[in-house]
Amino acid sequence: MSSLLDALSMLRRFRGYLAGAGGISDMINALRWSVWYAVKWWEEAKAAGKVDAPVARALYRSLLHHGYVDEEGDVVKRPRTPGTPRGPYAQEWLALHRSFDAIFRKVLEGDSEAARILFEAMQAQGWYKLWRDDFLKAAGFRGRRIFEPRMRGGHNAVDIYAEYAPELYAGYEADEASVEALLEAAPNVVVGDCPGSGICVFKAATACELADSLAKLAVEEVLLFNALQWMEDPVGELACIKRAAPKAVFYVGQPVVETMPGFLAINAAAGALRVFSRDEVEGLLEAVGLKRRRLLLREIPFYASVWA
């Protein structure tokens, strides 16, 4: 039922995304590859005795939900090999999974560098940008005074700044190298002492560390795009943001357990700390006093909603 509702919503609100994928059947075909690879990776993780690795736990949780493995982790349903999608963005999605497949053994052995590089590349892929941009359009994102908690390289910041020309795009990075790259890549970037306009990057590990500065920035929009599962303390951090920007609208778009297991695994391997179900995501947002204003997509191809 929810898949049907999501399909209708996709047809109504995400036409660009659908067109890029090559139509709804090609999009479904591309998404099936994520399941197909997830089952393959889960079996490889089991064979290697690595079922407790973060990437394996992400796979298990989603595959269990989708009915491909049972509680014991045995594969009880095997997806047929999907056809190759024709749409250019669907092909990029498949290329992402192929690339992760090539490094999966390294990931299981605990090498996180290869997955981090892949995640970096993913943020520059056309399908990822289309996913984000169509989500923002469908959500009615105005793009005036934006806060993105974890910038993770600044790809969203650079693209959204170019597209929406906001008064302010603020966020934080935990490591110096990310700050330096962003400074060097784009104009109007300021680090630390934010003048209240341009792209402001704070050096911090959590939004709570910059709550006082954030409160002075009159943030109107909080972008939580593929973000909550990367936070160490999502409720604590959301509470800090809500206190600092009490009137802001929160735009939430991300994969959930009910979404694509292979993509969840790629996130987990690249450093995402958790895997959330749709109900868990909504529970986090409700826990800090936010109320859902719009539900754009329940789970397929991702979860998307607006809160305030």
Binding residues (CB under 8 A) for other proteins: these are: 91-92, 95-96, 98-99, 102-103, 113-114, 116-118, 120-122, 124-126, 153-155, 158-159, 162, 177-178, 180-187, 189
CB of 226 to other proteins, least distance (A): 17
Q: Which is nearer to other proteins, 91 or 259 (CB)?
A: 91
Compute the distance between CA of residue 252 and CA of residue 306 in angstroms, rounded to an integer.
Answer: 6
CB of 211 to other proteins, least distance (A): 27
Q: Is the peptide bond before 301 cis (omega within 30 degrees of 0)?
A: yes
Compute the distance between CA of residue 277 and CA of residue 290 in angstroms, rounded to an integer.
Answer: 18
Compute the distance between CA of residue 274 and CA of residue 250 in angstroms, rounded to an integer.
Answer: 20
CB of 142 to other proteins, least distance (A): 21
CB of 180 to other proteins, least distance (A): 8
Compute the distance between CA of residue 288 and CA of residue 61 in angstroms, rounded to an integer.
Answer: 26
Q: Which is nearer to other proteins, 117 or 287 (CB)?
A: 117
Compute the distance between CA of residue 109 and CA of residue 263 in angstroms, rounded to an integer.
Answer: 19
Cα dihedral: 2, 36, 283, 141 (round 10):
-70
Q: Which is nearer to other proteins, 161 or 303 (CB)?
A: 161
CA distances from 9 to 13, 121, 307 (A): 6, 29, 18
CA distances from 57 to 4, 53, 64, 190, 305 (A): 28, 6, 10, 39, 26
CB of 102 to other proteins, least distance (A): 6
Q: Which is nearer to other proteins, 9 or 99 (CB)?
A: 99
User: In the 8-state DSSP scheme, what is residue 78?
Assistant: -
CB of 186 to other proteins, least distance (A): 4
Compute the distance between CA of residue 10 and CA of residue 296 in angstroms, rounded to an integer.
Answer: 9
Q: Which is nearer to other proteins, 89 or 303 (CB)?
A: 89
CB of 147 to other proteins, least distance (A): 19
Q: Which residues contact 246 (CB under 8 A, 6 or more apart)?
A: none
The enclosing H or E element of 254 equals: strand 249-254
Q: Which is nearer to other proteins, 3 or 188 (CB)?
A: 188
Confirm if 281 and 254 have CB atoms less than 8 A apart. yes
CB of 230 to other proteins, least distance (A): 17
The enclosing H or E element of 185 equals: helix 176-185
Q: Which is nearer to other proteins, 9 or 123 (CB)?
A: 123
Q: Which is nearer to other proteins, 115 or 245 (CB)?
A: 115
